[in-house]
Amino acid sequence: MSDELHCSWDSIHDPEYGAYTTANAAEVLPGVTKPLPADIWREWDYVWNYGVTEDLGTSDLLVVPKPPVATTLPFIGGRFVINYGINMAFTAMYSVGEGSDFLKQFLEGDDEALTSEAAADESRAIAARERITQRWEDSDVTRDKNRVITKDAYRASLTRNWSAASNAELIEALAEATELAGRIFIAHYYNSVGGGEYTSVVGKILDEHIPDHPPEWANTITSGLTDVESALPAKAIWDLSRFIAARPALAGAFPSLTADELLANLADPPNDDWQAFAGEWAPFIEELGFRGQNETDPSFRTWNEAPNFVLSSIQADLQASPERDPHELERKQAAAREVVEGEIESKLPAEVLDEYRHALRLAQMMNRGRESSKANWARACRTQRPPTMELGRRLAADGVLDEADDVWFLRLPELRQAAEGNLDAAATKANVAARKDERSRLEGYELPVMFEWPLDLIPMEAAEPVSSATYEGLGVSPGSATGKARVVTSAEAATSATLEPGEILVAPVTDAAWTPLFIPAAGVVVETGGILSHAATVAREFGIPAVAQIRGITSLIPDGATVTIDGSNGTVTVEP
């Protein structure tokens, strides 16, 4: 194993599984992370990795490395990446025949590199496949059970009096929250694998038996599913905007108020309209307050702490026409899906209908469930924040840290030492300062899409925006649109972004917390992501054209330029 790391909190690399990708990784955890979240991440990553091998009865076939050795979700150059080498080893545990190519539904890269081999011991693989197939069949039951578990845990983490807990109890609470995140992620893994597997099966059936079918059919019938979890924030914010729009005085005042003024009125409603809106706002925050940019990183504030993004999204939705109603957009996409499903059924040979229907049912169930299991996991991750911040406040009060947020620049062993009163203040402050400098330096570098260890970091060079050009990517949601580009360069920038109706959202990535921006948007362009990425899934639910996999597009398109995107052929054209 190599210890020649690019970052002092990087994962250590096992040469047996040294193949990595950044594709889709930034959708979950963008940018350079901080040291403590990376350490916490590695802890729960091990929990679910080991949990899956135990669950499938294959722990003797694949020995999961312990932190800080890289497992499936490690860090390189301070950035979160996906270890597709060990992912393929996981997949081989239950693969028979030709192996599995499920990862190509999520990641960009060489199809061959993203296809697992079949297991050498076929009898063990068959037994493991029977187990994982049962998990796929039961995924909706598991999803609902985990929703209750994580909602209860999240609510308890918000309401507990952390100031009354001892330091040892805070460390124990963080450990329990980390364990919870790992256990909950197992279901997300099963949903992701199963959704990708059965989407591939559906595509292969169509290719074999209806070879001249439109290329978007496989996407169409695994989309338009309605009630997709990652579309929920956009719908809930839209509903708040309609509540306001129905009250003329409130609707007239709301768009011109600053975030601070809006929050002040919610805290102390000046009239009956504001009192009524506060009554709608409270359950919204209770249900969706765990969401936010970088929501799986406990060092970031989410909507319950920093609701500015939600308030600006409500203001944008107030300007949107009724045709942008996300509920109606969902219904239209569901109707379109049903039409295509009927046409496919009429063309498939009778002898493959049962196989097709079974694969389609599971693909739809798990592609919808993947978004729900991601939300459950995000809630679990949020329970790591309160005990850690309480420790940070105590360490700052004791002079060990300059400020509470510096706790995120400690390493996990240091935090445990600090809780015992065994951390030197001067050395700790020096380490925090050095790691902040290190993180700042790393932000000037990036990683290749697919690579093997060891590698050299790539200096980041922003391309010059051009006034006329056409770029080719991957069409992930069909249709075309023309509008002004609204370039949002980071998750942090998204918290204050407001799109005008008809603009094209251009971003490095998007995730569930970005989706309120999809309502006014005429189209979406992102730098990374596959067919089943979160951005692609929500874009198809709302019938918004979307293009992915155009690296550097946030630098190439001038903000405000007129662009035309084609989500069917994957092109983005900057108009002269």
Q: Name the helix (H) or strand (E) containing 504.
A: strand 504-507
CA angle 411, 32, 29 (to 5 degrees): 95
Closest CA to 184 of 287, 284, 296, 288: 296
Contact between 186 and 142 (Cβ < 8 Å): no
pLDDT tens figures, 41-67: 999 999 999 999 999 999 888 889 899
Q: Name the helix (H) or strand (E) containing 18.
A: none
Residue 363 three-state SS: helix
Q: Scanning the structure block, which residue is given the tokens 């199963």?
A: 194
Return the domain boundaries, the chain. 469-574
Confidence of residue 1 (pLDDT cuts 50, 70, 90): very low
Residue 2 three-state SS: strand
How confident is the model at residue 116, as a pLDDT? 65
How confident is the model at residue 440, as a pLDDT? 97
Q: Scanning the structure block, which residue is given the tokens 């009956």?
A: 272
How confident is the model at residue 500, as a pLDDT? 86
Cα separations in angstroms, 21 against 81, 99, 348: 6, 20, 37
Q: What is the mean pLDDT of the chain?
A: 91
Percent of the chain with pLDDT over 90: 66
CA gap 18, 84 in Å, rounded? 8
CATH number for the region 469-574 comes to: 3.50.30.10
pLDDT tens figures, 136-183: 999 999 999 999 999 999 999 999 999 999 999 999 999 999 999 999
**Read out DSSP for 25-54?**
HHHHS-SB--HHHHHHHHHHHHHHHHHHHH
pLDDT tens figures, 535-557: 788 888 899 999 998 888 888 99
Residue 480 three-state SS: strand
Please give the model's pTM, rounded to 2 decimal places: 0.92
Average pLDDT over residues 274-279: 98
Residue 240 three-state SS: helix
Q: Which residues contact 186 (CB under 8 A, 6 or more apart)?
A: 48, 51, 52, 55
How confident is the model at residue 17, as a pLDDT? 84
How confident is the model at residue 530, as a pLDDT? 78
Average pLDDT over residues 493-514: 83
Model confidence at 3: pLDDT above 80: no
pLDDT tens figures, 472-503: 998 988 899 999 999 988 766 776 777 888 99
CA angle 240, 247, 499 (to 5 degrees): 45
Contact between 116 and 88 (Cβ < 8 Å): yes
**Read out DSSP for 427-459?**
HHHHHHHHHHHHHHHHTTEE--SEEESS-PPEE
